[in-house]
Amino acid sequence: MVETFAFNVNGVSKTYVGRRSAVAAVDGVDLHVAKGQFVAICGQSGSGKSTLLALVGGLCRPTAGSVTVGESDLGQLTPSGLADFRGRQVGFVFQFSSLLPNLRAIDNVALAALLQTGGGYPRAYAAARACLAEVGLANRETAFPRELSGGQQRRVAIARALVNRPGLLLADEPTSDLDEQTAEEIFALLRRVQQAHGATLVLVTHDTRLARSADRLIYLHQGRIVEDLVPDRVDARLQPIERVAWPPPLHEASPSACSPADEPIQPLGAGLGRFVIDFLGWTFAVTLAIFAINHLTAGFQQRTVSREQDSRRQIEELAFRGMRSNVEDLVEQSDGSFLLTLSLENLAAE
Ligand code: ADP
Ligand code: MG
């Protein structure tokens, strides 16, 4: 039986104190969420949604009140106990994919498993492979994040959140930067994996239409819960629930086009060589382009300068070609010097 978590938020406040003012991001919230529930949290920007999620996930501590997740009173945990709680019991999906760009999709997912569970590489990579298959990316295991679409990157982030089999999934606006159709797909996927894993899901979203497919809809305003309701929903788009066996048996790790099951597991960072080659290639191309631009600019400047010199020389030649001068006057001054008056005339036709 998979262990799931209910959580209790009791009289919780979180106040950020600045130099001049204090902001009550969460203000006296009481919230109980049952095991396996899907709760959507909506509210205007700045209403405290992310802060509430961070408090439940043990990412920050409340200024007042207590948060209990399963059996753990988060206020009683040491910093390392809290880190352990986050790693083992909570799966986070953030607003942007937050994948490590120089690791392949499978490495990104396996890393989360390697950091938390024993069992080493074979187990971590088998779990990562199973999770990627579960989110529909069995054939993109070896892709780097930049080679994936926004929706696919979000799927990898969901696989990463699932890999340690958390009882609590927390998603902070996971679809806000996606187009409508992709957002719907990601939403349905979250719903499906939540049900398949029997996890509790708390999802922050601006999209009240999608939020209506949750079991419970909570509105926050200025750090307080102003509505807590069960939405009427008919969501035919949700796909049938398929319970997953966990942890995945090693021999059942999903085969994929890119990475057959008998392919030796590559060590973490196997893509580093490719990254270095890419990097050097780009550096060379950019240097070459800068050199070429520099060379062209220098040539252009030199041609402009010599054109100007030529035209000045022609004007000088022209000015002096027909030059004649006549002495008009020569007067001796009282101090013994002479004052000479000349008249100059250019007789050239031009
Ligand atoms: P939401 O996710 O609903 O947009 P947040 O929880 O991010 O809201 O923020 C709630 C309020 O707390 C906002 O007024 C925000 O400016 C403030 N806030 C959030 N995080 C911090 C922080 N680290 N330091 C100071 N103020 C913060
Ligand atoms: Mg937020």
Indicate the top mutation candidate among 26, 44, 51, 63 to test ligand 1's pocket, ranked by most ligand atoms within 8 A of CB: 51
Is the minimum distance from the CB of 195 to ligand 1 under 6 angstroms? no
Percent with pLDDT over 70 in the chain: 77
- Nearest protein CA to atom 6 of ligand 1, as residue: 48
pLDDT band at 255 (very low <50, low <70, confident <90, very high): very low
pLDDT of 281 over the 90 cut: no
Q: For 87-131, write each residue's pLDDT tens digit.
A: 989 999 988 768 999 999 999 999 999 988 666 889 999 999 999
Confidence of residue 288 (pLDDT cuts 50, 70, 90): confident
Spell out the residues 6+ positions from residue 183 whose beta carbon is closer than 8 angstroms to its own: 175, 207, 210
pLDDT at position 293 is 73
pLDDT above 60 for 280: yes
Instruction: Answer yes or no: is the C-beta of 43 below 6 A from any ligand 1 atom.
Output: yes
Q: What string of DSSP letters covers 127-155?
A: HHHHHHHHTT-GGGTT--GGGS-HHHHHH
DSSP string, 182-224: HHHHHHHHHHHHHHHHT-EEEEE-S-HHHHTTSSEEEEEETTE
Nearest CA to ligand 1 atom 24: 16
- Please tell me the residue having the least CA distance from ligand 1 atom 1: 46
Give 62's Cβ-side CA count (13 Å radius).
26
SS3 for 104? coil
Whether ligand 1 lies within 6 angstroms of the CB of 13 is answered as no
Give the Cα separation of 258 and 142 in Å (integer).
7
Q: From ligand 1's centre to the CA of 48, what distance in Å?
A: 6
d(CA 334, CA 12): 105
End-to-end CA distance of the chain: 105
**The token pair that represents 113 in the structure block:** 């498993």
How many CA atoms, within 13 angstroms, populate the side-chain half-sphere of residue 264?
A: 3
Give the residue with greater pLDDT, 6 vs 87.
Answer: 87
Give, in degrees to the nearest 5, the angle at Cα 218 between 214 and 222: 150
Task: Give residue 125 CA to ligand 2 midpoint distance, Å.
Answer: 32
Residue 316 has a pLDDT of 65
Rounded average pLDDT over 165-186:
93
In this prediction, residue 187 carries a pLDDT of: 92
The residue to which tokens 């080679």 are assigned: 147
pTM of the predicted model over 0.75: no
**Residue 327, pLDDT score:** 62
pLDDT at 189 exceeding the cut of 50: yes
Structure tokens, 124: 């971590």
State in Å: Cα 108 to ligand 2 middle: 24
Q: When comparing pLDDT for 293 and 136, which is higher? A: 136
Q: Span 55-82, mean pLDDT?
A: 95
CA distance 157 to 109: 8
46 C-alpha to ligand 2 centroid (Å): 7
pLDDT band, residue 152 (cuts 50/70/90)? very high
Sign of CA dihedral 139, 174, 93, 91: negative
Long-range contacts from 264-268, C-beta under 8 angstroms, 24+ separation: 265/121, 265/122, 265/125, 267/121, 268/103, 268/107, 268/110, 268/111, 268/114, 268/121
pLDDT-based confidence at residue 349 (cuts at 50, 70, 90): low
Q: What pLDDT is stored for residue 115 in this prediction?
A: 86
Average pLDDT, the chain: 83
Residues whose CB falls within 8 Å of the CB of residue 173, separated by 6 or more in sequence, listed in order: 95, 204, 205, 206
Question: Which of the pair, 143 or 88, is modelled with greater confidence?
Answer: 143
Nearest atom of ligand 1 to the alpha carbon of 172: 2
Angstrom distances, CA of residue 344 to CA of 168, 240, 348: 99, 104, 12
Tell me the residue length of the chain: 350
Query: Which of 12, 15, 23 has the most ligand 1 atoms within 8 A of CB, as the residue to mutate?
Result: 23
- pLDDT > 80? residue 248: no
pLDDT tens digit sequence for 291-341: 677 777 777 788 877 887 777 777 666 666 666 666 666 677 888 777 767
Task: Estimate to the nearest angstrom the gap between the alpha carbon of 81 and the chain centroid.
Answer: 27
**Residue 287 pLDDT more than 90?**
no
Banded pLDDT at 22 (limits 50, 70, 90): very high
Give the residue, by CA position, lying nearest to ligand 1 atom 16: 46
Place of tokens 């899907």: 38
